[in-house]
Chain A
Amino acid sequence: MSYLSWSIEEATRVLTPLKNVQGPVLIALQAIQERFGYVHDDAVALIAETFNVSRADVHGVLTYYHDLRTTPSPDRCIQICVAEACQSVGSRDLVAAVEKKLGKKIDQTYSDVEIKSAYCFGNCALGPAAMVDGQLIGRASVEKVTA
């Protein structure tokens, strides 16, 4: 996935079409993240100003949702489902093996590759499931998710 680097001008362009949305804060944060890969500090003030809400409100929403991040997205993101159905077919072992192979810890921030826990992709009959850069992988293995 390719993202633009943060700029207020581009962020303003992202937010402009959302001006008429009822209850815009979450959508605005999602749109910013979609464009830049994360929510830059300055986006909070910009969203607050654009939609006439308090910074505290925007910040509250930003910190509530697991999807939203405040550090730049890594080059590569490996999400591994660690929910029950995938546990039953070895997702715990898969996580350990991927951590070992990449020398990274799950749910830590890195700039090159991140391994993140996910809770269900709706692929529970073909688990373990993973998503690599937005691509769903069934019957996931170390080889498949690090290929």
Chain B
Amino acid sequence: MSTIIYVPSDSAAISIGADQVAALIAQEAIKRSLDVTIIRNGTRGALWLETLVEVVTPQGRIAYGPVQPEDVSSLYESDFLLGGAHPLALGATDEIAWFAGQDRVTYKRVGIIDPLSLQDYESHGGLVGLRKAITQSGSEIVAEVTASGLRGRGGAGFPAGIKWKTVLDTQADQKYVCCNADEGDSGTFADRILIEADPFTLIEGMTIAAVAVGATEGFVYLRSEYPTAITRLRDAIEIAKSAGVLGSSVLGSAHAFNLEVRVGAGSYVCGEETAMLESLEGKRGVVRSKPPLPAIAGLFGKPTIINNVITLASVPAILADGAAAYAARGTGRSLGTQVFQLAGNIARGGIIETAFGITLETLVKTFGGGTLSGKPLRAIQIGGPLGAYFNSSQLNVSMDYESLAAAGGMLGHGGVVLFDDNVDLAQQAKFAMEFCALESCGKCTPCRLGSTRGAETIEKIISGVDVPANKLLLLDLCEVMTDGSLCAMGGLTPLPVKSAMNNFPEDFTGGAKK
């Protein structure tokens, strides 16, 4: 009988040798006349354990990791096909504390299944939500999503159900569902991993959205920096079409839904939803003024649902298991689970899906294991380039929308980036301004010019020129940007800058650290 071995085909795993590991496992098997079947799953999210090799044994999936190409022959010598002892043996994958401490809902199939096997998908609970949706009315589906408390995971945290209801209630000859897979935030990769590991979940979520509001066309706006995800999703869409999940009759129902991937072109601001619409229309990615809301006049002027990958990918589970099960998780108005991403200078980086309300400390210490370098943890940026920098005395903050806002930050897309004591927060603040200058769509002056002025001013502070006066000037600039910007690019760039100044005042005293 053939032994099944899982070796991730995730692009992060491949970036550190997963393809070589897979090839060597296959070669060695032939050499040793052993019968193995290698399945290229997605990553299970423990990027620190990649390449994580799993062997299917009578005792379940047994993990080995992190496996380097040079470890493969010793794995065979240790009888890893039978779950044999080896320095890299980790025991049953599900029992590894890092996984056991999570609550995988949106990510429940990620890393478990073969990403492009619809059969695998269905045998792990896939399509249950969509099958239910096609028997329901649009308002029933929308009510379920609303009751779940699901809020947008792309950054703004707007309730998904309310957005969907607006699209449902707007009459039009054409409606669209657009998935925002631009994932431009540094320190985030939840969208990428979901698409690479379990693309049918996104397809199912988008199809449920389409069925709910009566949309027949959908687009996924996927960034060009994610070539593997682009190919994987396109392949999955073809498979879903042939299987009748997508197309003129969704699972045999009267609903039609066609889905297409559009590739971004290296613009961060195109992750802003109206800039994304402009880009999908083939234009410069300049932010639109609101109103009109995209839900009323979005893509090509038609009512459009725009949601993040994780928002949409959470919907199948909500429909399958019921809104109450989802809303039972979390805290306050932050219901359900959040797919956190631990990144940067971190010992155990990767995906942590858990109910809202976990503390930052549990995330970065218990799960993350502190810094990779082993040096003291000094700063944590939460929520991407527009998110705040926290210092190491602020670790007791609860990770939910409201608590983070109260602590002067924001959740954003759930990225948590660690820095050790090498970091210079004045440099980080300057980078935030430079990034804004580089990515500004140019529509508003405070964002376009203020960011350049901001970077110059911080440079002066770093060089010790008129430090007190320049700090005041910088704060003024921040205020103008916050108040005078049309979108969060200019509006939130002051967040990393001011939090760096507030939480690390010692880095803004002039006199460069290094």
Contact = CB atoms under 8 A, between A and B. Distances in A.
Interface of A: 21-30, 57, 60-61, 64-68, 83-89, 118-127, 129, 131, 134, 136-139
B350 A125 contact: yes
Interface stretch (B133-141, B336-344, B395-403): B336-344
Give the residue among A30, A118, A120, A136 with the most B Cβ atoms within 10 A. Answer: A120
B385 interface: yes
Nearest to A63: B284
Contacts of A60: 283-284
B437 to A, nearest CB: 13
Contact of A125 (B47, B225, B381): B47
B344 A85 contact: yes
B279 A125 contact: no
B265 A66 contact: yes
A27 B15 CA distance: 28
30 contacts: A22-B300, A25-B283, A26-B265, A29-B265, A30-B265, A57-B283, A60-B283, A64-B285, A65-B266, A66-B265, A66-B267, A83-B187, A85-B417, A87-B431, A88-B419, A89-B372, A119-B186, A121-B225, A122-B12, A122-B183, A122-B189, A124-B341, A124-B344, A124-B415, A125-B12, A125-B343, A126-B349, A136-B11, A138-B12, A139-B16
A27 B285 contact: no
Contacts of B186: 83-86, 119-120, 124
B14 interface: yes
Contact of B417 (A24, A88, A121, A138): A88
B504 interface: no
Given A23-B282, A61-B284, A120-B185, A129 B265 contact: no
Given A89-B345, A119-B268, A125 B284 contact: no
Nearest to B423: A88
Contacts, number: 147
Contacts of A85: 186-187, 343-344, 415, 417
A23 B344 contact: no
A129 B15 CA distance: 9
B342 A125 contact: yes
B16 A124 contact: no
B189 A84 contact: no
A38 B228 CA distance: 22
Q: Which of A61, A66, A68, A119 has the most CB of B within 10 A?
A: A119
Q: Select the residue from A84, A121, A126 with max chain B CB neighbours within 10 A.
A: A84
Contacts of B418: 88
Nearest to B381: A84
Interface string B185-199: 111110111000000
A125 B265 CA distance: 23
B435 interface: yes
B370 interface: no
B241 to A, nearest CB: 18
A66 B227 contact: no
A88 B345 contact: yes
B76 interface: no
A31 to B, nearest CB: 10
A66 B514 CA distance: 31
Given A26-B282, A124-B341, A126-B50, 10 more contacts: A65-B266, A66-B267, A84-B417, A88-B419, A88-B423, A118-B225, A120-B187, A124-B188, A124-B189, A136-B228
Contacts of B431: 84, 87
A60 B281 CA distance: 14
